[in-house]
Structure 1
Amino acid sequence: MHLTILYRGPIISCNYGCEYCPFAKRQQSAAELAVDRQALEQFVNWVAQHSQHQFSILFTPWGEALIHNWYQQALVQLTQIPHVHKAAIQTNLSCQLDWVEECNKDRLALWATFHPEWVSRDRFLSKCLELDRRGVRFSAGVVGFPKYKDEITNLRRELPNHVYLWINAVKKELPNLSTQDRNFFESIDPLYELNTQHYPSFGRACRAGESVISVDGDGKMRRCHFIKEPIGNIYERDWETALCDRLCTNQTCHCHIGYVHLDYLELDKVFGSGILERIPNNWALQRLR
């Protein structure tokens, strides 16, 4: 069995303070961070012990995780495990990047977000170029506020063509977004319109709960981050019995890490092997045309 896991541990702190984020500039105590570290180490050990399965893993922390060395080491360890196909993480790239040299880079991927209000474009760009130089697969992206159009334009110009730059649509602002702004975002990210939708999902088939699951620090399994009812726990002996085909119980799905798994959208054909790190299939080849 090939199982994709979206892991979100107890960490809820970040070194940035974005106005739209509920975890902006939140700090956690040493004791709270120790709990997060222990939970992550338990998860990595569990993955290592289950060699009868194949895994792809995306870390989706509430906050910034890579500023903590235990997340860096988790990616080092996971990418060295033969039955782990990929280990990816969402990050603001504020950490040092020398640790990637310890990883199996064929299995490592980063989803990097640029926050113009908290870091200069030059600094973020330098981290992206370093990843590229080190041979690490990654996407870069920005939340789609029109006030950052100049920064977005310059970032797209300065990034290598083969690096995909995505734009996250600000859903609540879409009714007020001008046609010009929408066209601008689509000129930067040809898949921007995909992220502007609230996709009908109730009663629809989804890979979540069958071949894709969400796991928290205690090991609780959920179908995805957006359906809160647990379906089991990976640390129980019969955890595999919870995996089965289920229809979605939410009315709509509007987040990339959720809707990409809806069967009827067929976005696995769009993103291919880059579905976790948000890189379209054959993106580098498309940019060369």
Structure 2
Amino acid sequence: MNLAVLYRGPLASCNYDCPYCPFAKRHDPPELLREDRAALARFTGWATATTDVRLSVLFTPWGEGLTRSWYRDAMVSLSHLPHVERVAIQTNLAARPDWLAAADPASVALWATYHPGQVTRERFLARCAALLELGVRFSVGVVGLPEHLAEARALRAALPPEVYLWINAAEGKRYTAGEEAEWTALDPLFAYSVRPHLSLDRPCHAGETAISVQGDGTVRRCHFIQEKIGNLYDGTWRSALRPRNCVNTICDCHIGYVHLKPLGLREVFAGGLLERIPAGWPNHPISAVSAASVGSVGLVTPGE
């Protein structure tokens, strides 16, 4: 069995104050941090013991995890387990990456986001250079706000070609054709992010070969459907896994729609699904991707 696990514990604090994020500069009280640490230790123990499953783990904390030692320690330990194919985390790269020297570069990876206004481009690029020196797989992304365009272009120019730069469409923004073209010039796959995907009754890997796990072990098919399908720690998750169709009208977040079967994105990101790196990048033939071609598999267009 191959299973992708998206884990999100109680942690909700972040050292950045991005105006587009509801968790900006949020501080968790000591008791919540202790709860988060204990929950992650329990999850790491489960992953260590579950040797009959080929696991891929993506940590998707509401806040910034790598400023907390227990996330760094968990990633190092999980990276050395033979049945863990990948362990990755979404991060702003605020933490020094030296700790990754203890991890197995064959299985550890980072999904990094650059936040202009929170960190200088030079400092962020220095972090990227350190990751390249360590041989750690990572992608880099930017939220596609108009005020970020110049920085995104400068970032793309400064990064080596082998680093994939993805662009997330800004929440609630409608892009003109010209704006979409500008962002697509930086990320050939931007068309998948720029409009929500029709998902109701469409088959999805979520709940079959991918699950969402909360700190208490509650298992859901994905982060965006609240129905509980089992618990990680009582074993009920195993019997819950089966082919499922989505019950939401649309899906507009990458960690959700990447599992929609009609989109075929598991093939596009084969080998780099959790860290958001297209297969064979930078030689993957995705430069011809357009909004029109994406629309053929069920995309919400303006006015729908």
- TM-score using structure 1 length: 0.96
2:227 and 2:214 mapped to 1: Cα distance?
12
Q: 1:286 deviation in Å?
A: 4.3
Pick closer, same or farther for the CA change 1:286–1:204 going to 2, 3 Å.
Answer: closer
Q: 1:180 deviation in Å?
A: 2.7
1:29 and 1:45 mapped to 2: Cα distance?
25
Q: Which residue of 1 aligns with 2:184?
A: 186
Q: 2:91 matched to 1:98?
A: no
Deviations 1:246-279 (A, max 9, x none): 1111011111000010111111121111111111
Mapped contact 1:171–1:196 kept (Cα < 8 A): no
Q: 1:50 deviation in Å?
A: 0.9
1:214 and 1:194 mapped to 2: Cα distance?
22
2:147 and 2:197 mapped to 1: Cα distance?
27
Structure with greater helix share of residues:
1
Mapped contact 1:219–1:235 kept (Cα < 8 A): yes
> 1:23 is matched by which residue type in structure 2?
F
Q: How does 1:80-95 map to 2 (within 5 A)?
A: 80-95=80-95
Q: How does 1:131-150 map to 2 (within 5 A)?
A: 131-150=131-150
* 1:283 counterpart SS class: coil
| Aligned length, in residue pairs | 286
Q: How does 1:96-245 map to 2 (within 5 A)?
A: 96-174=96-174, 177-245=175-243
Q: 1:139 deviation in Å?
A: 0.1
Q: Which runs of 4+ in 1 moved over 4 A?
A: none
Q: Which residue of 2 aligns with 1:10?
A: 10
Q: 2:56 matched to 1:56?
A: yes
CA-based RMSD of the aligned residues comes to 1.3
2:237 and 2:180 mapped to 1: Cα distance?
44
Q: Which residue of 1 aligns with 2:301?
A: none
Identity of aligned residues (%): 49
Q: 1:179 deviation in Å?
A: 3.0
Mapped contact 2:278–2:284 kept (Cα < 8 A): no
2:235 and 2:243 mapped to 1: Cα distance?
20
List gaps (5 residues or longer) in structure 1.
none
1:258 and 1:148 mapped to 2: Cα distance?
24
> 1:155 is matched by which residue type in structure 2?
L
List gaps (5 residues or longer) in structure 2.
288-304
Deviations 1:108-158 (A, max 9, x none): 110000000111111111101110111000000100011122111111110
2:77 and 2:35 mapped to 1: Cα distance?
19
> 1:236 is matched by which residue type in structure 2?
D
2:62 and 2:171 mapped to 1: Cα distance?
19
2:183 and 2:22 mapped to 1: Cα distance?
25
2:283 and 2:135 mapped to 1: Cα distance?
17
> 1:266 is matched by which residue type in structure 2?
G
Mapped contact 2:220–2:228 kept (Cα < 8 A): yes
Q: Which residue of 1 aligns with 2:45?
A: 45
- TM-score using structure 2 length: 0.92
2:233 and 2:223 mapped to 1: Cα distance?
19
1:52 and 1:81 mapped to 2: Cα distance?
12
1:80 and 1:212 mapped to 2: Cα distance?
21
Q: Which residue of 2 aligns with 1:20?
A: 20
Counterpart among 253, 273, 276 of residue 274 in structure 2: 276
> 1:105 is matched by which residue type in structure 2?
P
Counterpart among 241, 250, 261 of residue 252 in structure 1: 250
* 2:221 counterpart SS class: strand
Deviations 1:142-187 (A, max 9, x none): 000111221111111100111001110114111xx34332211000
Report which stretch shifted further, 106-115 or 198-207: 198-207
